[in-house]
């Protein structure tokens, strides 16, 4: 047997225990522990009592199962200290999101490479940044493109990018202002024909685990997954049917969003709306996804609504 094809499950670090980190942990822990591996979770210092025990009940259950927790303040730690910390691990799965501010993802990526981490899953659980490229008007998207460039320019650390589209829940986030279930309206970003790919965090956790454990090992590749790829027009139909009432429909045109953005350049959600209104890179066909090819069930938008809102 070619040992290079095997997946090393020792010394795995999951960075972050928010919505995505928790979903990854739920799926990953039983599989990795069954293979004799171990998992450490990186959380913020305020999440732990006495530096070791999670305050959050949902995380304490993992402590009981043997998952270790370490605390670091990513916005304050020096690059050198981060490299030293990372050097203890073979695999890093980065679920931190953008909470620690602009520039954090390039910093974390560079630290992982400097630490000689064997395998790195960057925080790229989002859109197709290769298609979006630079200049989408969304600085975090520019940074995500930069992370890919950094990873592709080196050979020592293997990387796997899991492209998931938007979290399904984000479509219904009032602050994002696409579907407002309370107030009964839906805003199409760009046009009714524009599409968006969405995946539920619990499905992302399940699929990331499968991708991580895939044999032969997936190396230096972008893997696409999806719960649903849906146009804003079809989304409006799904929401109408789910709510048993017609929602008010509006289009937020790209021109209007970009005009708004010149007036409010610091509005993060407005930046996201404008970026998604571009259309390109925000969606892909289900047929090209890992879950479709493997026959793994995921929740589409309608199922997500019935499960989480219904």
What is the model's pLDDT at position 140?
A: 84
Q: What is the pLDDT of residues 278-306, one digit of tens each?
A: 999 999 999 999 999 999 999 999 999 99
What is the model's pLDDT at position 165?
A: 97
Q: What is the pLDDT of residues 181-219, one digit of tens each?
A: 999 999 999 999 999 999 999 999 999 999 999 999 999
C-alpha–C-alpha distance, residues 178 and 282, integer Å: 15
List own/partner pairs for 127-133 with CB under 8 A and 24 or more apart.
127/163, 127/165, 127/166, 127/197, 127/281, 127/282, 128/163, 128/222, 128/224, 128/281, 128/282, 128/284, 129/281, 130/222, 130/281, 131/280, 131/281, 132/275, 132/278, 132/280, 132/281, 132/282, 133/281
What is the model's pLDDT at position 202?
A: 97
Mean pLDDT for all residues in the chain? 94
Residue 161 in this model has a pLDDT that exceeds 80:
yes
Q: What is the pLDDT of residues 87-140, one digit of tens each?
A: 999 999 999 987 767 899 999 999 999 999 999 999 999 999 999 998 877 888
């Amino acid at each position: 047997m070619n040992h290079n094809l095997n997946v090393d499950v020792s010394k795995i670090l999951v960075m972050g225990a928010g919505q995505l980190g928790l979903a990854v942990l739920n799926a990953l822990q039983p599989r990795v522990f069954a293979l004799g591996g171990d998992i450490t979770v990186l959380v913020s210092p305020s999440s732990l009592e006495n530096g070791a025990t999670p305050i959050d009940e949902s995380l304490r259950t993992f402590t009981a199962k043997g998952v270790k927790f370490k605390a670091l303040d990513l916005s304050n730690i020096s690059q050198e200290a981060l490299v030293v910390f990372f050097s203890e691990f073979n695999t890093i799965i980065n679920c931190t999101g953008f909470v620690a501010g602009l520039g954090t993802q390039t910093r974390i990526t560079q630290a992982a490479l400097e630490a000689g981490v064997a395998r790195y899953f960057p925080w790229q659980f989002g859109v197709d940044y290769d298609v979006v490229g630079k200049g989408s008007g969304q600085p975090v998207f520019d940074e995500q493109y930069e992370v890919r460039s950094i990873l592709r320019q080196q050979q020592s650390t293997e990387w796997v990018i899991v492209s998931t589209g938007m979290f399904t829940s984000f479509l219904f986030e009032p602050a994002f202002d696409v579907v407002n279930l309370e107030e009964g309206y839906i805003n199409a970003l760009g046009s009714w024909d524009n599409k968006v790919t969405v995946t539920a965090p619990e499905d992302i956790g399940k699929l990331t685990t499968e991708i991580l454990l895939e044999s032969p090992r997936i190396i230096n590749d972008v893997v696409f997954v999806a719960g649903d790829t849906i146009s804003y027009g079809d989304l409006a139909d799904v929401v109408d049917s789910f709510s048993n009432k017609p929602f008010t429909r509006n289009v937020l045109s790209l021109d209007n969003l970009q005009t708004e953005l010149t007036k409010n350049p610091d509005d993060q959600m407005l930046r996201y709306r404008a970026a998604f209104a571009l259309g390109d890179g925000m969606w892909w066909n289900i047929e090209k996804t890992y879950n479709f090819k493997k026959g793994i069930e995921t929740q589409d938008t309608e199922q997500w609504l019935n499960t989480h809102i219904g």
